[in-house]
Amino acid sequence: MADTRPFLPVSSSDGSIPSEPLANRRKPMKVQLSIFFGLLTVGLLAALLTSNNGSDFVTDNEHGPLVSSTTATTKPETLQAVSRGPAAGVSEKSNRLFADENTVAFPWNNSMLSWQRTAFHFQPERNWMNDPNGPLFYKGWYHFFYQYNPHAPVWGDIVWGHAVSKDLIHWLHLPLAMVADHTYDKSGVWTGSATFLPDGKIVMLYTGSNADAVQVQNLAYPADHSDPLLINWVKYSGNPVLVPPPGILSKDFRDPTTAWLTSEGKWRFSIGSKINKTGVALVYDTKDFINYEKLDGLLRAVDGTGMWECVDFFPVSKTEENGLDTSVNNPDVKHVMKVSLDDDRHDYYAVGTYNEKNVTFIPDDPEIDVGIGLRYDYGVYYAAKTFYDQNKNRRVLWGWIGESDSEAADLQKGWASVQSIPRTVLLDKKTGTHLLQWPVEEIDSLRLNSYEFNQVTIQAGSVVPLEVGPATQLDIMAEFEIDKEALEKATGSNVTFSCSSSGGAIERGALGPFGLLVLADDSLSERTPVYFYIAKGSDGNLKTFFCNDQSRSSVAPDVKKQIYGSMVPVLKGENLSLRVLVDHSIIESFAQGGRTVITSRTYPTKAIYGAAKLFLFNNATEAGVSASLKIWQMNSAFIRPYPNLDNKSQ
């Protein structure tokens, strides 16, 4: 049976980290508690003796949060969840965690909320953002469009925001690209995709929700193709160009893909839908993006997966290490189909074969078909969209990272949601089943001073601090090697392990968990473990899991705290490796070169600013682990309005 005791005291290292005086090492838990309650008593006495000075300081004891004297007499607010999206015909956009609970709102202060805003992830200056739309590279600029509510930090009144960048890291906000100003998109300018024509011009197909909440497809294009910033967009006078076909409900017809050229010279694209509970991808051909032919059959359909949103379809090379234009189709490529499931708000993909003549996508392994198998990301990540970057011959992936706090907190801070760091996407040629996702190389330009730790020994049941300064903005590269003798001696079991159903990082097994504690305070009362767990079956075979445990990431009660993760293939001769990008309230983690990825949102109340620390841990009962790391402090990106648009640069 698993041992669920708390983490053991911090161990000394093997010499790779400068040794600390004994007094500075972690105290045993009983001593920590004695010190903690002693300090707490002193603090409470001081608070009683201090007049009302307007402090926003928040502390807590074993019974929950205690607010400052300025708010102690205020009755705590009970959170009420509000549904946003489904009534209009899209997936749920609010955090419904509190729908059936009497959860009390945490007394967030401005300092805490300000810390949550990211430093190098894209987000608008204020208000709500969701799906990425029509990303592209044009005349020296990367363009990013996104679902945006210009009026409030909640979903609604959706239009298209627009920003440009030279490097996918530093962004300049431009005026809104498209607003809800016609009957065919009066209820929302929803998700769409860009397609480059052979002459270099751009067309954009997007879903509009009309005045009757019917989902229709519309055509838009730049007003001036000579403008590298593509500031002004024209909506085709004949919109809508497509309406729901017979057999498809009015709210189940959305999110057209980028189009690809067929061997007959026609443009082909897909639109997500459902038939009863079967998720489907409809297919259309067009020669001019004005007249369309709906093809018989479906690109793919999977029973029981529900509504498919934000379908994406693209080729990946079986032989080369670069991305491919969406229209490439030859024996040296595989195709990837990705769907966003309305029912569970996760992005699933499958690798397989595209038959142009039969207009079908067949997954290589039906057991991991679209919607029931592999996911882009096992955390908070949805509505992802790729584009082919002809500037660097790569396929780049964007994804929406929603919030995991309460809507009340979002209203207080004035913004909600960010975008992931753009990722390159390649076929994992070693497994043949997985994709490899990796942060674009440009993110490395934000690296500042670095710290290296070589062959750090982490004994079973110990925690080792890593002295890297404030741990709020980090890029961490780490490799772990588990004791081989322990692997051999460990007893196998028929018990099935799952990250999400386990007890998280405090559930101890012979061979795990071990990894990093990020955004942790010095006492470890707040911490987010990012870790590996090795399970040994009764047959002696090993399975490695990559997990992220939010259950103790914050003492605030109005935060969704889940344990994310999945099995990650580890091939013969490979060490366990991970990369973690920490950017305030976002943690993006990549295992085994990006075979498995987890994104999480964390909202600590103590482990913020200079109090945010980084630790190694090994909570296995038997196996020792060694780790080698290189860690960079990260600079902030410049994300601001475009200066002086009247004199815009080329």
Q: Which residues of 388-408 are buried (b: 16+ CB within 10 A; e: fewer)?
A: bbeeeebbbbbbbbbbbbbbb
In sequence order, which residues have a C-beta less than 8 Å from that of residue 282 and are 6 or more positions away?
245, 248, 253, 270, 271, 272, 273, 294, 298, 299
Could you give the maximum distance between any two Cα atoms of the chain, in Å? 83
Q: Residue 559: which of 410, 407, 415, 405 has the closest Cα?
A: 405
Q: Residue 59: which of 77, 72, 49, 50 has the closest Cα?
A: 72
d(CA 518, CA 614): 5
Give the other-Cβ count within 10 Å of 178's Cβ: 24
d(CA 245, CA 284): 11
Q: Residue 155: which of 95, 108, 115 has the closest Cα?
A: 95
Distance of CA 385 to the CA centre of its chain: 12
d(CA 220, CA 209): 15
Q: Do the Cβ atoms of 415 and 126 come closer than 8 Å?
A: yes
d(CA 567, CA 547): 9
Q: Which residues are catalytic?
A: 131
Residue 585 identity: S
In sequence order, which residues have a C-beta less than 8 Å from that of residue 210 and are 6 or more positions away?
183, 184, 185, 186, 187, 216, 240
Q: Do the Cβ atoms of 211 and 187 come closer than 8 Å?
A: yes
Convert 177-244 into a string of H (helix), E (strand) and C (coil).
EECCCCHHHCCEEEEEEEEECCCCCEEEEEEEECCCCCEEEEEEEECCCCCCCCCCEEECCCCCCECC
SS3 59: strand
Percent helix, strand and coil across the chain, each to the nearest 5: 10, 40, 45
DSSP for 265-326 reads S-EEEEEEEEETTEEEEEEEEESSSSSEEEPSS-SEEETT---EEEEEEEEEESS-SS---T
Peptide bond into 513 cis (omega under 30): yes
Residue 427 identity: L
Give the other-Cβ count within 10 Å of 95's Cβ: 24
